[in-house]
């Protein structure tokens, strides 16, 4: 009789976080993690019935236009951020699954009490808790925000970060923390563009994502103002303004750049995003501060080079001169020089380099990193 080979038992895993139809980079990230992990583990994914109260959310809607009203297969939508009873029901559902590991994304102190309760409850019964840090502390940081972040993160056994900057911040906050690093995977779920948008200039520039002061759109506008009248460029700003729209519009008019800049102040469906990235030549992230950015992974998905500032974790995922350029923050002169350095030949060369470079940014690699980091512990 031929004996069948005994297959290794798969890890029992829980992921807690926003997934589609919720919108934004964190939801996209958790959704892709869910889709990959379900084929590699015994997975339970729990998402939200409500994330934020309407008065706190500055956008037009919590839901992704393409997926509004839909739910992801295999996901249980249980957590209401404003209802602690839903946190209790979530904890009980997780315990029913009997996981070895629970993964919780961390990005803002709004989730302090909910995630503190859940993580503490799981650790009390011997379940390993991993915080997947998108931001260790909020972008607009303050002493009390750092304090609250620390109280939550102390409940973890180990951590997975996506930037060296977050690794440094976490080590400073919790010196004994067990930390692993894996770069932000590519958002390769975005489709190929069906329609080809008409070009408006020889250099199409894209600033993409929610517009907030720390992202430095005003610095990019100052850089464009330094370009020669002979430079043939056009900038598309695509993303909802959360702050500072009036000041940006005034600056555009003052610099007489209104015929060189298009503002798309709304959250865009995936096909529209694909069209914008297909047309663009260069994606610019002139940030004043950062940990990491999903915009870079999206640009790489479409083989588009980037210009980033030397802040946070942005330089960690850019091969300077090959997949993009790295410039000093808050330096319009250096940014302008970088923009004018792009020839068609250089753009084509960088696209070829990106196609090779991006192979290391896989979702399977992220799941495998989570399973590896679970063998470490945090002595808190």
Give tens-digit pLDDT for 203-228. Answer: 999 999 999 999 999 999 999 999 98
Q: Residue 308 corresponds to which tokens in the numbers above?
A: 């980033």
pLDDT at 7: 39
Residue 157 confidence (pLDDT) above 90 = yes
Is residue 370 a part of any domain in this protein? no
For the chain, the average pLDDT equals 90
What average pLDDT does range 240-254 have in this prediction? 94
Residue ranges of alpha helices (H) inside the chain are 25-37, 84-97, 112-124, 143-153, 164-173, 217-226, 245-254, 270-279, 294-301, 332-340, 344-357, 363-373
Predicted local confidence at residue 57, as pLDDT: 59
* 196 within domain boundaries: no
DSSP state of 66: G
Given a contact cutoff of 8 angstroms between Cβ atoms, the answer to whether 277 and 304 are in contact is: yes
Q: Is residue 190 part of a domain?
A: no
Asked whether residue 26 is assigned to any structural domain, the reply reads yes
Which CATH number do you get for residue 279? 3.40.50.2000
Place 294 in a pLDDT band, splitting at 50, 70 and 90: confident
Exposed, middle or buried by CB within 10 Å (0-12, 13-18, 19+), for 359? exposed
Residue 158 covered by a domain: yes
Q: Domains in the chain: how many in total?
A: 2
**Residues 36, 363 contacting (CB under 8 angstroms):** yes
> Percent of the chain beyond pLDDT 70?
92
In a domain, 365, yes or no: no
249 and 131 both lie in a single domain: no
* 162 and 228 fall within a common domain: no
Q: What is the pLDDT of residue 25?
A: 86
The four Cα atoms 191, 193, 194, 200 give a dihedral, to 10 degrees, of 160
On whether both 237 and 114 belong to a single domain, the answer is no
Considering the domain architecture, whether residues 176 and 82 belong to the same structural domain is answered as yes
Residues 175, 275 within the same domain: no
Residue 204: the pLDDT is 97
Question: What is the CATH classification number for the domain harbouring 68?
Answer: 3.40.50.11930
Mean pLDDT of 297-317: 94
Residue 225 forms part of a structural domain: yes
Q: Which of 285 and 6 is assigned the larger pLDDT?
A: 285
Q: Is the pLDDT of residue 110 over 90?
A: yes
Q: CA 260 to CA 128: how far, in whole Å?
A: 52
Using the predicted structure, report yes or no on whether residue 24 has a pLDDT greater than 90. no
For the beta carbon of residue 3, count every other beta carbon within 10 angstroms: 5
Considering the domain architecture, whether residues 352 and 287 belong to the same structural domain is answered as yes
| pLDDT at site 376 | 55
Same domain assignment for residues 175 and 323: no
pLDDT of residue 379: 43
Residues 159 and 307 in one domain: no
- pTM for the whole structure: 0.76
Which pLDDT does position 60 carry in this prediction? 59
The residue segments making up the domain with residue 146 are 12-181
């Amino acid at each position: 009789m031929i004996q069948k080979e005994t297959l290794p038992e798969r890890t029992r895993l829980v992921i807690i976080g926003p997934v589609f139809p919720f919108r934004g980079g964190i939801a996209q990230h958790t959704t892709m993690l869910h889709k990959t992990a379900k084929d590699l583990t015994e997975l339970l994914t729990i998402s939200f019935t409500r994330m934020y109260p309407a008065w706190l959310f500055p956008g037009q809607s919590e839901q992704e236009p393409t997926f509004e009203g839909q739910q992801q297969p295999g996901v249980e939508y249980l957590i209401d951020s404003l209802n602690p009873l839903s946190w209790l029901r979530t904890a009980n559902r997780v315990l029913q699954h009997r996981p070895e590991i629970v993964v919780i994304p961390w990005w803002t102190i709004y989730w302090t009490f909910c995630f503190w309760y859940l993580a503490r409850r799981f650790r009390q019964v011997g379940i390993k808790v991993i915080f997947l840090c998108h931001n260790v502390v909020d972008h607009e940081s303050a002493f009390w925000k750092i304090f609250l972040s620390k109280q939550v993160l102390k409940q973890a056994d180990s951590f997975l970060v996506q930037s060296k900057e977050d690794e440094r911040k976490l080590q400073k906050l919790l010196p004994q923390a067990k930390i692993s690093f894996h770069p932000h995977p590519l958002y390769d779920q975005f489709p190929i563009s069906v329609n080809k948008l008409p070009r408006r200039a020889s250099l199409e520039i894209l600033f993409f994502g929610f517009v907030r002061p720390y992202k430095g759109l005003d610095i990019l506008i100052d850089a464009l103002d330094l370009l020669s009248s002979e430079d043939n460029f056009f900038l598309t700003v695509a993303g909802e303004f959360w702050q500072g729209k009036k000041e940006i519009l005034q600056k555009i008019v003052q610099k007489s750049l209104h015929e060189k800049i298009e503002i798309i102040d709304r959250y865009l469906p995936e096909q529209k995003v694909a069209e914008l990235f297909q047309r663009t030549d260069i994606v610019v992230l002139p940030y004043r501060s950062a940990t990491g950015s999903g915009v870079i992974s999206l640009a790489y998905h479409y083989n588009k080079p980037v210009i980033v500032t030397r802040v946070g974790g942005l330089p960690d995922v850019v091969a300077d001169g090959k997949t993009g350029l790295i410039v000093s923050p808050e330096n319009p002169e250096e940014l302008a020089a970088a923009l004018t350095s792009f020839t068609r030949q250089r753009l084509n060369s960088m696209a070829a380099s990106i196609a090779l470079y991006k192979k290391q940014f896989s979702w399977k690699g992220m799941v495998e990193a989570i399973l590896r980091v679970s063998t470490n512990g945090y002595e808190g």
